[in-house]
Amino acid sequence: MLTLDHVAFGGTDLDHLRAAAADVGLASEYGGPHGTGTTHMAVLGLPDGSYLEFVAPTADADPEDAGFWPAHLAADAGPAGWCVEVPSVAAAAKTAIDRGIRVDGPHEASRTRPDGTRVEWDMCFEGPAGDERLPFTIADRTPRSYRTTPNADLADSPLAGTAAVVLAVADADESASLLTDRHRLPTPVDATGPFDRFGVCPGAPVALAEVTEDADGGLADRIETVGEGPCAFLLGVDDFEAAAGRFELAATEPFGPDGDRRTAWFDHDAFDGRLGVVELPATT
């Protein structure tokens, strides 16, 4: 089953994203500029080992020329990409090609942390240009701990990790087939959630939000601007009441096939409808 490595949330100004996150209780750590020199990032290391990456153009770079997700950064679109770790990016790319999927890579990539540590990895994007429905793959060339470690401030919090990537799609059936063929994800089932036409992949950290004929334009406009792909990220919490006390959250909504779990957006304009929390399933 698919395990998330990290998710990327992009905009035009990294300081603004970090300040917004701090306002709702998510203190990030500056991670330094990428090797392209056109973007830099901050990281929020989560207890499960995954992380939330905030990414934006560097001060002297135009967002549209950014090395990562230029359309998303230029549009302050928030959710931009999602990533899974693999043993070999080249082998993962071959698997994608064998299944008729276009790949962009493998690429060597890096960034330099403020302490001077150089972080290096290989990565590959899959799918047509401008289509982020499939996760990109990553394999570290330096220790993963160089890239991220769990934020100590969150160790005793109700926040557990990255629970779900919500993909904005034009056709849920077609997108489900793509995800099943490439990553063996289960067929989505209809669910109550933060979007009108919503489905979750049982047991997998993926959900689909499909554009509806009578849509108010939000998802349709997003797809027209940045293409299909992540439109929201949900961080899992194991104690929803404690999360509401610890973080700044907006109104609670039901979530899931039975509507028996809860979700809420982080209460900030930068995150409304794009970054929130979801109650994890009860364990027995």
Task: pLDDT band for 284, please (50, 70, 90 cuts).
Answer: very low
Q: How many domains does the chain have?
A: 2
Q: Could you say which of 123, 147, 171 is where a domain stops?
A: 147
Residues 136 and 175 in one domain: no
Residues 140 and 188 in one domain: no
Q: Could you say which of 84, 116, 147 is where a domain stops?
A: 147
Q: How far apart are CA 120 and CA 111, in angstroms?
A: 7
Residues 91 and 168 in one domain: no
Q: What is the pLDDT of residues 113-131, one digit of tens each?
A: 999 999 999 999 999 988 9
Q: What is the pLDDT of residues 48-92, one digit of tens each?
A: 999 999 999 999 999 988 889 999 999 999 999 999 999 999 999
Q: How far apart are CA 180 and CA 39, in angstroms?
A: 32
Q: What pTM was estimated for this model as a whole? A: 0.96
Token reading at 44: 């929020």
CB atoms closer than 10 angstroms to residue 276:
27
Q: Residue 85: inside a domain, yes or no?
A: yes
Q: Residue 114: inside a domain, yes or no?
A: yes
Residues 64 and 173 in one domain: no
- At 262, which CATH number? 3.10.180.10
Burial of 165 (0-12, 13-18, 19+ CB in 10 A): buried
Residues 249 and 173 in one domain: yes
Can you give the pLDDT at residue 216?
A: 56
Question: What string of DSSP letters covers 36-84?
Answer: TSSEEEEEEE-TTS-EEEEEEE-TTS-GGG-SS-HHHHHTT-EEEEEEE
Q: Could you say which of 147, 165, 198 is where a domain stops?
A: 147
What are 256's strand-pairing partners?
A: 192
Q: Would you say residue 277 has pLDDT above 80? A: yes
Residues 126 and 179 in one domain: no
Strand 275-279 relative to strand 229-237, pairing? parallel
Residues 100 and 172 in one domain: no
Domain membership of residue 9 as a residue range: 4-147
Question: What string of DSSP letters covers 84-107?
Answer: EE-S-HHHHHHHHHHTT--EEEEE
Q: Residue 134: inside a domain, yes or no?
A: yes
Mean pLDDT confidence for 237-248: 97
Q: Residue 213: inside a domain, yes or no?
A: yes
Residues 162 and 266 in one domain: yes
Q: How far apart are CA 83 and CA 89, in angstroms?
A: 12
Q: Residue 37: inside a domain, yes or no?
A: yes
Q: How far apart are CA 221 and CA 225, in angstroms?
A: 6
Q: Residue 275: inside a domain, yes or no?
A: yes
Residues 193 and 106 in one domain: no
Residues 40 and 98 in one domain: yes
Residues 107 and 171 in one domain: no
Q: Residue 284: inside a domain, yes or no?
A: no
